[in-house]
A and B are shown apart, each in its own frame.
Chain A
Amino acid sequence: MPTAARVAEVRHGSEGGSLESPTVALVSEPRLLPRGALQALIDALGAGGYRCIGPQVRDGAIVYREISDSGQLPVGWGARQGPGTYRLERRGDRRCFAWANGPQALKPLLFRPHETLFRWTRDAEGRIRFAPEPSRRQRWALIGARACDLAALALHDRHFLHKERDPGYAVRRADLLLVAIDCSHPAQTCFCVSTGDGPSVTGGTDLALTELDAGFLVRAYTETGAAVRDTLPLVEPTAEQLVEAETQGKAAAMAQTRGLPGRDLRDALFANLEHPRWSEVAERCLSCGNCVAVCPTCFCHTEREAASLDGSSGTHERQWDTCYSAEHSYLHGRLLRPDTRTRYRQWLTHKLGGWHDQYGRSGCVGCGRCIAWCPVGIDITEEAAAICASPGP
């Protein structure tokens, strides 16, 4: 019987966790982790050298924070979402994951909102030394990733690890173990079925859970995940429980009412760059960039310097940026996108259009965060449909 030590051993031997390609025979028949034994998962991960991150209720929303006790999970909480609205509500049961998502997915864990890229010092003779910023190695296990989050993560892997490799992202990615969960309670804002990304998990994770009233069905997708699974006090699920899981997954898919008008909108959007809808949506859009901040795939960032007062040393920093800001399109002394119309159009044509050429798929995974967290409730599915439905002038 593998032990926690074996988890660590496997982990050391296979850098990458869910970056590994799934091996055959890992995905065996799911077994049940009884609800009362959920702590065993956190403990097994801890014993394997991981610090755990899980969803928790903070400031009226569900956010990812470090977790050591299963009681810290949002037990009995649900989240009601709509255009421009997000409200937690009590459910009256013991479910931990009966909500769709919070304001952030995995993005801040890997693509840090703020990061030092390198340091520099200048000596008395004016010589400059540039030094890389060391990457802190810490193994993290994230519990609660959704299918849409995993799809977004796969896209960021492509962006930050293919061609030019982002060193900070690469280290954090290699140190991350993922425990995903099938989405059982999509929000009104969700449309992952139409993007083909959810609601159930089909890979891209080390472990996946299906939450049932009695507990959690556990599936492993990587060696690392299987090693963790094998330390858990699992039992055989009943036939009824397996049916419940299947029914729940189908119901979650059926519950979604929103959708994009197609998976490849590239040609339709670029053929309608002068559509009157762009001006119309610009009347409502505040150009605040909330949609970009909560979007799990938006990757724009800006670089800036931070120098010491005497100018002898400093750091080169980067932080998240948004294409809704004026500075984003700055080009020596002028702005390429001086108004909200061109900025909203930039965001949408890139997200739903240019991504197909750059990453082989749309940049939207159907999580609906941009709809819920938009202060004026602009709905990406509605805007895309309006622009693609009728040809512009």
Chain B
Amino acid sequence: MSASIPAVQPYLPMEAEVVARAQETRDMFTLRLRLTDPRERESYRFAPGQFNMLHVPGVGAAPISIASDPTQSEALDHTIRAVGRVTRVLERLQAGDRLGLRGPYGRGWPMQDAEGQDLLVVTGGLGCAPVVAAISYAVQRRNRFRRLIILQGVKHSADMLWRERYDAWARLPDTQVHLAADEPTKGWTGHRGLVTDLLDQARFDPRQTAAMLCGPEPMMLAATSRLTGMGVPGDRIWLSLERGFQCGLGHCGHCQIGPYFVCRDGPVFPYHQIGWLLGTKGF
């Protein structure tokens, strides 16, 4: 009997280092990661909407979308909410700490498809994180897109991430930014209510729009329903889904839904592909 190591090792993480850590809200934080191997760092590329598996040795791995600018793949921002076993350990990492990273995985946002169109972003809660890379991409190539409309909603106003970023985007030409909080605290200047209410204020051409939705599925379905009612075709509305990704390769089966593995065939789907499965309990 002999032993050999196959050349391709899709399950093997790369080592990454925490370059910086920022506390965003009470339970949300951002880890800026850098691959420690220079060759791996140079060859790493990601598209907006893709995710990495972050692996804490001895604890496990969690799928986290990449929130930073895709043109700067040397520093990869991951904005995370501490909700589970792995993310609670990720929360304790500090600059200099090491961890494993595999990725990027999945099909991201249809940036090429969206060129020449109004770009409408509707997000809820931490759903803004997977779209931030797409917004950065569009902002850096502002002339390739027409109007840019960013709508973000949270339940509690204290959970609103990145106020400064939203303020900066709001100052760009042909750009609308509206924020909503269902349960605002004193001093909240945005809308009180649901993010879908903000569609009333959004100015876009329903026939020339690419809509990117990310957040809780009831929110995405409500927004889709409003958008299709306004005349946006189902194949121009994209949703980013999340399921229990473990392998990221379409092997482990946890993210299987209908004809898809969300980790590989998604996480971004046009509504006309996936809409028939959403809203059914168990899928």
Residues of chain A touching chain B, judged by Cβ–Cβ distance below 8 Å, are 117-118, 120, 122, 126-132, 134-138, 159-160, 163-167, 170-171, 270, 273, 299-305, 307, 311, 314, 316, 318, 321, 323, 328-333, 336-337, 341-343, 345-346, 349-350, 353-354, 356-358
Task: Name the contact of B13 in the complex, choosing from A130, A273, A323 (C-beta under 8 A).
Answer: A130
B112 within 8 A of A: no
Does chain A have a CB within 8 A of B230? no
Chain B residues whose CB sits within 8 angstroms of the CB of A302 once the complex forms: 246, 252, 254
Any A CB within 8 A of the CB of B250: yes
Instruction: Decide if the interface of chain B is mainly helix, strand, loop or mixed.
Output: loop
Known contacts A126-B98, A167-B8, A331-B243; A304 and B15 CB within 8 A of each other: no
- Residues from chain B with a CB closer than 8 A to the CB of A135 are 3-6
> Is B249 at the interface (CB under 8 A from chain A)?
yes
A301 to chain B: closest CB distance in Å?
Answer: 5
Question: How far apart sit A72 and B281, CA to CA, in the bound complex (Å)?
Answer: 50
Cβ–Cβ contact A357 & B4, under 8 A: no
Q: Which residues of B contact A (CB under 8 A)?
A: 1-6, 8-15, 36, 55, 57-61, 81, 83-84, 87, 96-100, 242-244, 246-247, 249-254, 256, 258-261, 264, 276, 280-283
Selected contact of B259 from candidates A128, A132, A303, A357, CB within 8 Å: A357
A321 to B242, Cβ gap below 8 A?
no
Nearest-neighbor residue (CB-CB) of A343 within chain B: B282
Residues of A within 8 A of B36 (CB): 127
Chain A residues whose CB sits within 8 angstroms of the CB of B246 once the complex forms: 302-303
Chain B residues with Cβ below 8 Å from A329 are: 244, 254
Give A135 to B2 CA distance when docked, in angstroms: 8
- Which residue of the partner chain, among A127, A167, A321, A356, contacts B10 with CB atoms under 8 Å? A167
Chain A nearest CB from B38 CB (Å) reads 15
- Is the CB–CB distance between B281 and A332 below 8 Å? no
Contact B252 A129 (CB under 8 A): no
Please pick, from A137, A159, A304, the residue contacting B3 in the complex, using a CB distance under 8 A.
A137
Please pick, from B12, B59, B97, the residue contacting A130 in the complex, using a CB distance under 8 A: B12
Quick one: closest A residue to B96, CB to CB? A126
**Given A137-B1, A301-B253; A165-B11 close (CB under 8 Å):** no
A328 proximity list for chain B (CB < 8 A) = 244, 254
Bound Cα distance from A270 to B98, whole angstroms: 45
Complex contacts, A321 vs chain B, CB 8 Å:
252-254
Assess A164 versus B59: contact at CB under 8 Å? Given A118-B12, A137-B3, A328-B244: no
Can you pick out 25 interface pairs between chain A and chain B where the beta carbons lie within 8 Å of each other?
A: A128-B98, A128-B100, A131-B12, A132-B6, A132-B9, A134-B5, A136-B3, A138-B1, A164-B250, A167-B11, A303-B246, A305-B58, A307-B58, A311-B57, A318-B252, A321-B253, A321-B254, A328-B254, A333-B84, A336-B282, A341-B282, A343-B282, A345-B282, A349-B258, A358-B261
